[in-house]
Amino acid sequence: MVKQVKDKSEFDQLKSADKVLVVDFTATWCGPCQRIGPKFVEFSSLPEFASLEFIKVDVDEASDISAACGISAMPTFQVFKGGAKVDELVGASDEKLKALLNKFA
């Protein structure tokens, strides 16, 4: 399951939690974001990624979160562990996204 997060305090709480957090920074007007979005949701439901927390952040609805994370292109996927960013992927590649998730599963 993928949770939509719009509140920076909720985002900060999730990224500091024990679980590895995977964030999809997206926008409704972004074609590549819309293409890979369903794949992100699909990956979130796979047993091999059950240890990961998946969230989406719309850069227009939560510009404070995207600005704090330095987002300049979409889609951008960031991985947080213990409050710190540990990895990032920019672009809509299913294969690269799955490889990123496998590194932390």
Instruction: Point out the residues that are catalytic.
Output: 30, 33
> Which residues on neighbouring strands pair with residue 3, listed in sequence order?
55
Letter string b/e over residues 2-18, b meaning 16 or more CB atoms within 10 A of that residue's CB: beebeeeeebeebbeee
